Copies of this chain bind each other. A is one copy, B any other.
Amino acid sequence: MGFANPVGGDGGTMKLRPVSYLLLGMVRLGARSGYAIKKAADLSTHAFWPTSLAQVYPELGRLEQAGLLARREDPRGARARAEYSLTALGSDSLLTWLSSTREPPTKVRDEGLLRLFFADALGREEQIAMVTRMAASARAAAAEIAEQVLPTAEAVEDHGNRFPLAVARFGADVYAYSAAWLDGLRQELEAAGEEDEPRAGAGREGRATRQPPE
């Protein structure tokens, strides 16, 4: 009804969520099909913004409706395939979001830390085992970034995009720092184990050797 918009959408009035910008940004970086976007996201943004295909496809449709993405059917043989590209409106939206000074919310759900928080209910041995597992886990996360994510990030860096690499390094370094921190905690627990026993001590021993940065 009414006046048709030349870009075919509602003029960008839809409410955009982070996943919307993820899609716009990935298209900008060269991922053109929903499948390719999901694959790229799994190799780069997955650690701080997970997505599923069940989010990607409907959201691509909404972004097209809103005129932020242009869709073109581009079958590969008999296999259907849609190729998306950024419209001027989509590009503006992305830049506006990137320039925003509003503080973006950060949400973490870490069941491991929740366990650690309540670890006083365990005996010393189990506490040490838990902390050891967590350190190993953090180191594994750092290694996974180094092996899976960094190479991809280095590839896009060659096309003038340095931030994917910076973010990957940030992640790897933070995980490595966490692992080292947990190693320090494990050492404290091992040292304390020679004096007092589970649930016993009214903690009063020294702060050990861990150093906060700065």
Partner of A105, one of B98, B111, B119, B129: B111
The closest CB in chain B to the CB of A131 belongs to: B166
Chain B contacts for A47, CB-based, 8 A: 108
Q: Is the interface of A mostly helix, strand, loop or mixed?
A: helix
Copies in the assembly, this chain: 2
A99 to B: closest C-beta gap in Å: 6
A120 touches B160 (CB 8 A): yes
- Assess whether A143 is interfacial by the CB under 8 Å rule: no
A109 touches B180 (CB 8 A): no
Partner of A108, one of B48, B158, B182: B48
Chain B contacts for A137, CB-based, 8 A: 103
Interface residues on A, range: 35 or more
B174 touches A181 (CB 8 A): yes
Mark A89-126 against chain B: 1 for CB-CB distance below 8 A, else 0: 00000110111010111111111111111111110001
B49 touches A160 (CB 8 A): no
Sample (29) of A-B pairs whose CB atoms are under 8 Å apart: A18-B111, A21-B118, A22-B114, A25-B117, A45-B113, A45-B114, A48-B108, A49-B110, A49-B111, A49-B113, A94-B121, A95-B122, A101-B129, A101-B133, A104-B110, A104-B111, A104-B114, A106-B108, A106-B112, A116-B170, A117-B164, A117-B167, A118-B163, A119-B163, A158-B203, A160-B201, A170-B185, A176-B213, A177-B177
